[in-house]
Structure 1
Amino acid sequence: MAFIKEESEDTKMEFIKEEIEDIKIGETFRVKQEDTEEQTDLMALKEENEVMNEMDENDQYKNHPDFTTGEKTFSCSQTEKTSSRKRAKKTGTRRNFTCQQCGKSFAEKIHLERHMRVHTGEKPYTCQQCGNQFTLKGSLNRHMRIHTGERPYRCPQCGRSFSCKGHLKAHMRVHTREKPFVCQECGNRFTLNGSLKMHMRIHTGEKPYTCHQCGNTFAQKVSLKRHMIIHTGEKPYTCPQCGKSFSQKLSLNRHMRIHDGEKPFACQQCGRSFNIKGNLKAHMRIHTKKSLFTCQQCGISFTQKESFNTHIKIHTKEKPYTCQQCGKSFDQHKNFKDHMRIHSGEKPYMCTQCGKSFNQKRNFKDHMKIHSGEQPYTCPQCGKSFNQKGHFEVHIRIHTGEKPFTCQQCGKLFNQIGILNRHRITHNGEKPFTCQQCGKSFNRKEILKRHMRVHTGERPFTCGHCGKSFGYKIALKCHMSIHVCE
C-alpha cells in the first residue's frame, strides 16, 4: 500500500508539474506570438496602416517563426525547448495536433485552434471603433495604434517613429541598405518581402486588382486607386503657387520643381540634371546606346517607350484624340492638349522679361532664346545660326535641295509643310481667313494681315531717304525708284 500511495503521489506531482509547464508554454507562446506578428512584412512603409489591416492572415501563420511544417512545430525559447524535452522524456510520447485540411502539425491544441481560423475565415477580434475584424489578438492590438496614434518604435538613426516593430525593422534597411529578399527569376533584390511579392507579378503576369467600372486590371492596389481617380475626376492636390490641380501627390511634387527650378537627378557621365527620374533613365540610354523598343514594321529602335508608341501610330494611322469643337484629330495626347488651348485661349507660358504669353511650351522656349541671344543651331555649310531647330532643318534643305512635302493633287514638291498647306488652298478654293470688319476672305493669313492695314491705317514700311511711310512693302520699293533716279 505504501508503494502504491507513493507511486500515486509521484504520478499526481508529475501531472501537476506537466500542467504548469503547459500553462507556461501557452503564456510564453502568446507573448512571442504578439511580438512576431509585429514583424510581418509590409507592402510599403508609407501605407503601413492600410496594409496591416488588409494583411493576408495565411501569411501570418506561414511566416510566423512558431509555426513550421516540420515535425518540430513549436519553438519559443531555450527554456521551453528544455521543458518540452523533459515532458517528452517523462511521458514517453509527444502530443501532436494535426490539421485535417492542410496536414500542418502543432505541439499545442490552442495553436491548432488558432490555425483553423485560416480555413474557416473566423475573425473573433473586432475593433470597437471602426468595426474591422482580425483573426489574431495581436493584429487587433497593432491595429488599435491607428486610432490612438501611438508610435512606440523609434529609429535611433533618424528619429522616425512607427506603430509596429516590423515597420521599424523594415525601415532600418534604408540605413543599412540591406536587401534580403531576392527574386529567383531575375536576381533583383528588395528590402521588403511585400515589394518582392509585387515584383513577382511582373514575371507571373498576375493582376489581382480589377476596376469595376471599366474592367482594367492592375498588379498593385495603389495603381488601382490611382486609376479610379480617372473615373471620379478628383484632383485633390493643388499647387499653392499657380493653382494647378493634380490627381496624384507625386505629380504635384514633380510640378513644384518647375517653380523652384530643382533638378535632383544628375547624370554621372555628363553632369546633365533632370527634374524627373524617368527622364534621367531615358537619358542614360544615350550613353549606353541601349534601344529597348524596336518597331517590328520598319526596324527603327527607340530608347523611350513613349517615343515608340508615338511612332507606331504612323503605321496604324491611328488618331485617337479628337477635338469636340472643330473635329480635328491627333495621334498624341500632348498635341491634342496644345490644340485645345486655341479654343480656350489659354496661354499658360509667360515670358517674365517682356510679358508675352504662349499656349505651347516649345514656342515659349524658342521665344526665350530671343532675349538670351542664344543660337545653338549652326549650319555647317554657310555658318548661319538659328535659335530654333525647326528653322535650322528648313534651312539645311536649301543646301541639300530636299523637298520632302508633296502635293497629292498636282505632284508639286515643297521644302516646308507650311508652304504645302498654303498651296493646297489653291486647289480647293478655300479661304479660311476672314476680315472681321468688312467680311472679305483670304486663303492666307499673311494676306489678311496685310489687308487689315487698310482698316487700321498702319504704315510699317518707311523710306530711309525722305521718311515717307507705306502700308505695303511693294509700295516702298516703287517709291525708292524715285530716289534712285535722283
Structure 2
Amino acid sequence: MVFIKEEAEDLKIEETFSLKHEETEEPIGLMPLKEESQELNEKEGKDLFEKHQDFITEEKSFSCSQTKKTSTRKRAQKTETRTSTCPQCGKSFNHHQNLKVHMRVHTGEKPYTCQQCGKSFTQSNSLKAHMRIHTGRKPLTCHECGKSFTEKGSLKAHMRIHTGESSFTCHQCGKSFTQKGSLKDHMRIHTGEKPYTCQQCGKSFNKMRNLTVHMRIHTGEKPFTCQQCGKSFTQEGHLKGHMRIHTGAKDFTCQHCGKSITIGNLTVHMRIHTGEKPYNCQECGKSFTQKESLKVHMRIHTGEKPFTCEQCGKSFRCKANFNFHMRIH
C-alpha cells in the first residue's frame, strides 16, 4: 500500500513537472523568431539609410558637378565677351554692342541727328544731352552750391570739387585730376600726341572736343544762343561771357594781385603766381603757361605761317602780328 501511494505521488509530481516544462518551452521557442525579426528590421533600416546616404552623396556630386559646369560656362562667356576687339585701334570691349558704337569713331557714322540745328551724334544719349542746349534744361543740381548740369557725368565730376577728391595723378608732372579722361587728355601735352584730325583742312587736335569746336568753323554752326538777344556762339564759354552783359555779373578777383579775372581765365592767370608751365615744347624743351602760347611757339620749328594778308601776300605766325599788320592797309 505504501509502495502504490509513493508511485502515485511520483507520477503526480512527474506530470506536474511535465506541464510546467511545456509551459516554459513555448515562450523559449518564440524568442529566436522575435530576435530574427528584429535583426531583419535593423538590417532593412540600415540598408535604407545607406541607400539614402548614397543618394545624398550622388545628389551633392551632381550638384557640385553642375555648379562647376555652370561656373566654367560663365567664365567662358565672360572670356568671350572680352574678346570684342576693334580691328583698327585694338581697343577691347566687354560687349559687342559697345564695339559696334565705337566703330562709328572710325567710320564717321552719326545716325542720330538734331532736328533743330542738324548736328549729328554717334549715340542716342549724346543727342538727348545735346537737346538740353536748345531747351536750356539742366535737371541735375549740385546740393552744395546749387549749380545745375545737363548730364549726370558732369555733376559727378563737379562734386569732386567739393569733396577734394583727385584720384587721377600725372606721373610726369604730379598734377592731379578729378576725371580719368582729363588725365588722359593731359598726358598728350607731354607726349605731343594729336589723334583727332580734321578731314577738311588736316589740322590735328589732342582732344576730341577741340576738333568738334574746330569743325564749326567749316560748318558755320553756332549752337549756343543767347535767349535774351538771340546772338549765337560756337562755344558755351563764349555764351557765358556774353551773358555777363545782360546780368551785370562781376568777374572773380585774384587774391594775390587783386586783378579781376573771368572764371574761364582764372586758372591760367593763377599760373603767373604759381610758376606752373604745363605745356612743354618737345623740340627745345621750352615751357608755357598756356596751350595757345605753345601752339604759336611750335610754328618757329615748323615754319608755319597760317595768317596771310590778302592784299600784299605777307604771312605771319601769330594772329596778333597779322592784325597789327592789317592796320597798315
TM-score when normalising by structure 1: 0.42
In structure 2, the CA distance between the partners of 1:326 and 1:440, relative to structure 1 (3 Å rule), is: same
1:271 aligns to what SS in structure 2?
coil
Is the aligned partner of 1:292 residue 2:170? no
| Preserved contact between residue 266 and residue 280 of structure 1 (Cα < 8 Å) | yes
Count of aligned residue pairs for this structure pair:
262
Task: Provide the rounded CA distance (Å) in 2 between the counterparts of 1:403 and 1:305.
Answer: 21
| Preserved contact between residue 434 and residue 441 of structure 1 (Cα < 8 Å) | yes
1:299 aligns to what SS in structure 2?
coil
Task: Provide the rounded CA distance (Å) in 1 between the counterparts of 2:322 and 2:166.
Answer: 42
- Which of residues 359, 367, 375 is equivalent to 2:242? 367
1:451 equivalent in structure 2: 328
1:138 equivalent in structure 2: none
State the AA in 1 paired with 2:322. K
Task: Provide the rounded CA distance (Å) in 2 between the counterparts of 1:418 and 1:344.
Answer: 23
| Preserved contact between residue 86 and residue 99 of structure 2 (Cα < 8 Å) | no
| Preserved contact between residue 169 and residue 176 of structure 2 (Cα < 8 Å) | yes
Task: Provide the rounded CA distance (Å) in 1 between the counterparts of 2:300 and 2:84.
Answer: 54
Counting aligned pairs with the same residue, the percent is 49
Q: What whole-Å deviation, never above 9, does each CA across 1:413-455 have from its counterpart, x for those lacking one?
A: 999887898899999998654443x335364222244234xxx
Task: Provide the rounded CA distance (Å) in 2 between the counterparts of 1:327 and 1:377.
Answer: 38
2:253 equivalent in structure 1: 378
Task: Provide the rounded CA distance (Å) in 1 between the counterparts of 2:208 and 2:130.
Answer: 19
| Preserved contact between residue 194 and residue 206 of structure 2 (Cα < 8 Å) | yes
State the AA in 2 paired with 1:333. M
- Which of residues 148, 155, 178 is equivalent to 1:280? 155
Task: Provide the rounded CA distance (Å) in 2 between the counterparts of 1:332 and 1:211.
Answer: 23
1:439 equivalent in structure 2: 312
| Preserved contact between residue 366 and residue 388 of structure 1 (Cα < 8 Å) | no
1:309 Cα deviation from its structure 2 partner: 0.7
Task: Provide the rounded CA distance (Å) in 1 between the counterparts of 2:79 and 2:129.
Answer: 29
Task: Answer with 1 or 2: which has the greater Rg.
Answer: 2
Q: What whole-Å deviation, never above 9, does each CA across 1:123-156 have from its counterpart, x for those lacking one?
A: xxxxxxxxxxxxxxxxxxxxxxxxxxxxxxxxxx
State the AA in 2 paired with 1:329. S
1:287 Cα deviation from its structure 2 partner: 2.6
In structure 2, the CA distance between the partners of 1:311 and 1:341, relative to structure 1 (3 Å rule), is: same
| Preserved contact between residue 266 and residue 272 of structure 1 (Cα < 8 Å) | yes
In structure 2, the CA distance between the partners of 1:441 and 1:261, relative to structure 1 (3 Å rule), is: same
Root mean square deviation, CA, Å: 5.0
Is the aligned partner of 1:270 residue 2:145? yes
Is the aligned partner of 1:314 residue 2:314? no
The worse-fitting range, judged by mean Cα deviation, of 358-367 and 206-215 is 206-215
- Which of residues 97, 102, 125 is equivalent to 1:250? 125
Task: Provide the rounded CA distance (Å) in 2 between the counterparts of 1:262 and 1:413.
Answer: 41
State the AA in 1 paired with 2:112. Y
| Preserved contact between residue 403 and residue 416 of structure 1 (Cα < 8 Å) | no
State the AA in 1 paired with 2:145. C
TM-score when normalising by structure 2: 0.58
| Preserved contact between residue 133 and residue 223 of structure 2 (Cα < 8 Å) | no
In structure 2, the CA distance between the partners of 1:372 and 1:257, relative to structure 1 (3 Å rule), is: same
